[in-house]
């Protein structure tokens, strides 16, 4: 009888193994997935075309934005500029020229400040710092006036630039 008991146990183990492997194969056949045609993940990238491009950052209509600009916010933003520029009525120079009364002033003419060549060249073609010129300059000083010593990165937000210009105008 000992021989039959061993055979029964071995047969049941073998049958269980065959059942497991058989079910696994049946499940794989039943739920077969087609391999992807192109391996990897698709990343959706929005194409930009000239028709659907974001509008260019052009200077605003100053007659409508300056009366509603926040001068106090502009003054707070100029704290970034205070490490190089002074805004006092005396027109004190620092690392950069004093900016009191800069709106309407000819570029590169603040007394007692040694301007770089880029600013001197700019002054030859522009008679005064207008709102539009300040707006573009504050947007990207290095891009607007290549070669300038001014290392300030920029004011990206158009409303921040409008507020700063309103503050400079109030001086």
* pLDDT, tens digit, 9 for 90 and up, residues 124-151: 999 999 999 999 999 988 888 988 888 8
Give the pLDDT confidence score for residue 31 in this predicted structure. 83
Give the pLDDT confidence score for residue 121 in this predicted structure. 93
Is residue 107 a contact partner of residue 126, using CB atoms and an 8 Å limit? yes
Give the pLDDT confidence score for residue 106 in this predicted structure. 93
Is residue 101 a contact partner of residue 90, using CB atoms and an 8 Å limit? no
Residue 138 contacts by C-beta under 8 Å, 6 or more apart in sequence?
A: 154, 155, 161, 164, 165
Low-confidence ranges of the chain (pLDDT < 50): none
Give the pLDDT confidence score for residue 80 in this predicted structure. 87
CA 113 to chain CA centroid, Å, is 33
Q: CA 46, CA 74: separation in Å to the nearest integer?
A: 35
Give the pLDDT confidence score for residue 28 in this predicted structure. 84
Q: Which residue in 149, 55, 106, 156 sits closest to 164, CA to CA?
A: 156
pTM for this entry: 0.66
Is residue 98 a contact partner of residue 85, using CB atoms and an 8 Å limit? yes
């Amino acid at each position: 009888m000992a021989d039959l008991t061993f055979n029964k146990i071995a047969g049941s183990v073998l049958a269980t193994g065959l059942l497991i492997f058989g079910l696994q194969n049946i499940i794989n056949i039943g739920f077969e997935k087609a391999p992807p045609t192109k391996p990897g993940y698709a990343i959706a990238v929005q194409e930009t075309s000239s028709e659907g491009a974001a509008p260019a950052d052009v200077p605003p209509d100053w007659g409508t934005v300056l009366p509603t600009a926040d001068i106090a916010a502009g003054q707070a933003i100029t704290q970034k500029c205070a490490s190089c520029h002074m805004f006092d009525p005396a027109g004190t120079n620092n690392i950069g020229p004093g900016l009191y009364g800069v709106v309407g002033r000819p570029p590169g003419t603040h007394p007692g400040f040694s301007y770089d060549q880029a600013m001197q060249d700019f002054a030859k073609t522009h008679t005064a710092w207008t709102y539009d010129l300040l707006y573009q300059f504050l947007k990207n000083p290095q891009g607007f006036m290549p070669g300038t010593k001014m290392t300030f990165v920029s004011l990206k937000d158009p409303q921040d630039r409008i507020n700063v210009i309103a503050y400079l105008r109030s001086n």
